[in-house]
Structure 1
Amino acid sequence: MKWIFVLLALVAGATMPVQAGINLRLREALGDPIVAALVSFAVGTIALAVYCFALRPVPTLAMAAGAPWWSWLGGLCGAFFVSVIIILAAKLGATSSMVWLLAGQFLAALILDHFGLIAFDVRVITWQRLAGICLVLAGAVLVSRY
């Protein structure tokens, strides 16, 4: 059963460079990476709203008020991420952009896991995990250099 989640992760990961390319074209048409990110988020918001209102119960204000204040910052992280990808794709290309983004994701995930930050269970840094991160960083250097 776990393989389904691995497959889902691979497919979702594959959409990142596709999204970067689509948003890069949108940036070229609109002339601004932040405006392109806004349009991208607007389309995504509309799609999610249609899905949620058609197939899910609508959350109440009381439910939303129960979330910690910092849980509302996910959208800001997403907006920053998409905006930066649009800028990086134009400057670094798809492969270099994605490999450095992944390296940053792995480093942050390692720290979040080790300290059990936000909502993650503690998963201590082992030498094997650290070696894996070093390999990812080495891979990022090689991909960017060649």
Structure 2
Amino acid sequence: MSPSPASETGWMTLAVLIGLFAGGILAVQPSANGMLGKHMHHPLHASLYSFGSGFVIVLLISLFCGILPPRMSIAPSQLPFWAWIGGAIGVVMVTTSLVLVPRVGSLPWFAAVMTGQTLLAMMIDHYGWLGNPRMPVTPLRMLGVTLLILGVLAIVLAKRGAEAGDLSPGEANELSPSVAVEEISKE
């Protein structure tokens, strides 16, 4: 028996609301990690503290709920290799954001991350990769992704324009893409 349209709408609404909340609190994470990273001797030290605090919280919740030790319903060797890489992806996200957010700001970083996530998620859904249900790309989905890409470009250009407004005309010219290309080609 398939779920009713009303229950699917309810689940979708719940998922969007929780996603908005999770995305909102995720906006704080790179800034917090960036601040930590500024005051550590190496960015990986900040990653260690960030993941360490998360580990302690999950451990305490698991102890409180009485769900230790972790158990699996199948043998670990039966899982596909990619089932084990979530933590590694987290390391990439945390470490790159704690290095880059203090340099470029939260908005350009998150706009780029969300666009990358959306592009790959669209491909994952379209092809049904990684155990996901197959959901073909539609023109409306393509429009949404195109708008995200345009949004990233607008955010980056706005940041560049704001930075150029704080500079003298000569310094602003040095930031232009054509000057950067000329400098690279001279080398």
TM-score for the superposition, normalised by structure 1:
0.91
**Matched residues, number:** 146
Partner Cα separation in structure 1 for residue 146 and residue 41 of structure 2 = 37
Cα RMSD after superposing both structures: 1.7
Distance in 1, matches of 2:133 and 2:14, equals 22
CA change 1:53–1:63 in 2 (3 A) is: farther
Match of 2:85 among 61, 66, 73: 73
Given that 2:33 and 2:98 are in contact with CA atoms closer than 8 Å, whether structure 1 keeps it comes out as yes
Alpha-carbon contact 2:37-2:99 (below 8 Å) kept: no
Aligned-pair CA distance for 1:74: 0.9
The within-5 A match list for 1:29-44 is 29-44=39-54
SS of residue in 1 equivalent to 2:134: coil
In the TM superposition, what is the alpha-carbon distance from 1:77 to its structure 2 partner?
A: 0.7
CA contact (8 A) 2:31 2:106 kept: yes
Residues 56, 112 of structure 1: alpha-carbon distance in 2 compared, 3 angstrom cutoff:
farther
Aligned match for 1:87, one of 74, 99, 102: 99
Taking a change above 3 Å as real, the CA distance of residues 101 and 117 of structure 1, as seen in their structure-2 partners, is: same
User: Structure 1 unaligned runs (5+)?
Assistant: none
* Greater helix proportion: 1
1:130 is aligned with what amino acid? M
Equivalent residues of 2:126, 2:135 under 8 A apart = yes
Alignment counterpart, residue 127 of structure 1, candidates 139, 151, 169: 139
Give the unaligned 5+ runs of structure 2: 1-9, 159-187
Residue 25 of structure 1 corresponds to 35
Report the 3-state secondary structure (helix = DSSP H, G, I; strand = E; otherwise coil) of the residue aligned with 2:105.
helix
Q: Deviations over 1:20-69 (max 9, x none)?
A: 11111101111322211111001001101111222152323675625333
The answer for the alignment partner of 1:46 in structure 2 is 56
Q: Does 2:25 align with 1:15?
A: yes
Q: How many percent identity over aligned positions? A: 26
Structure with greater contact order relative to length (CA < 8 Å, sep ≥ 6): 1
Partner Cα distance (1:107, 1:8) in 2:
21
Q: Aligned residue for 1:99?
A: 111
Secondary structure of 1:30's aligned partner: coil
